[in-house]
Amino acid sequence: MPESRAGRGHPGKSMASFTLHGIPVSRGISIGRAHLLTPAALDVKHYLVAEEQVEAEVKRLQEAIAQVHRTLQDLWTDLPKDAPTELGAFIDVHVLILSDPMISEAPLDIIRSRHYNAEWALVTQIDELSAQFDEIEDAYLRERKQDIQQVAERVLKVLMGTELSAPPVPTGEDHFQPQMIVVAHDISPADMLAFRDRSFVGFVTDVGGQNSHTAIVARSLDIPAAVGMSQASRLVEQDDWVIVDGDAGVVICNPSALVLEQYRARQAALIKARKRLLKLKKTPAVTRDGTSITLLANIELPDDCPAALDAGAHGVGLFRSEFLFMGRGAQALRVPSEDEQFEQYRKAVLAMKGRAVTIRTLDVGADKPLDQTEHTALNPALGLRAIRYCLAEPQLFLTQLRAILRASAFGKVRILIPMLAHAFEIDQSLNMIAQAKAQLREQNIKFDESIEVGAMIEIPAAALALPMFVKRMDFLSIGTNDLIQYTLAIDRVDYEVAHLYNPLHPAVLNLIAMTIAAGAKAGIDVAVCGEMAGDVKLTRLLLGMGLREFSMHPAQLLAVKQEILASDLKTLTTRTRRILRAMEPGDIAEAVEQLQSL
Active site residues: 213, 529
At residue 191, the 3 state secondary structure works out as: coil
d(CA 243, CA 263): 8
User: In 30-161, which ranges are continuous DSSP H helix?
Assistant: 54-77, 85-99, 101-104, 106-114, 118-134, 139-160
- For 83, the 3-state DSSP assignment is coil
**DSSP letters of 215-252?**
HHHHHHHT--EEE--SSHHHHS-TT-EEEEETTTTEEE
CA 156/CA 193 separation, integer angstroms: 19
Q: What are phi and psi of 568, to 5 degrees?
A: -110, 115
Whole-angstrom Cα Rg for the chain: 25
Q: Is there a contact between 195 and 48 (Cβ–Cβ < 8 Å)?
A: no
Give all strands (DSSP E) within 442-512, no chain letters: 452-457, 475-478
DSSP letter string over 341-404? Answer: HHHHHHHHHHHTTTS-EEEEPP--BSSS-SSTTSPPPSSGGGSSBTHHHHHHSHHHHHHHHHHH
Among positive and negative, which fits the CA dihedral 563, 223, 531, 137? Answer: positive
| Amino acid found at 82 | D
Note whether 236 and 253 are within 8 A (CB): yes
- Interatomic CA distance for residues 561 and 573, integer angstroms: 18
Q: Any idea of the CA torsion for 299, 305, 310, 315, to the nearest 10 degrees?
A: 70
Residues 545 and 517: their CA atoms lie apart, in Å, by 8
Backbone angle region of 50, left / alpha / beta, with phi > 0 → left and psi within -120 to 50 → alpha: beta
Q: Parallel, antiparallel, or unpaired: how do β-strands 241-245 and 250-253 relate?
A: antiparallel
- Tell me the torsion sign for CA atoms 80, 86, 90, 96: positive
* Phi, psi values for residue 76, rounded to 5°: -60, -45
Q: Let me know: does 447 contact 406? Beta carbons within 8 Å.
A: yes
CA distance 286 to 252: 39
Going by their DSSP bridges, the two strands 549-552 and 525-528 should be labelled as parallel
What 8-state DSSP symbol labels residue 581?
H
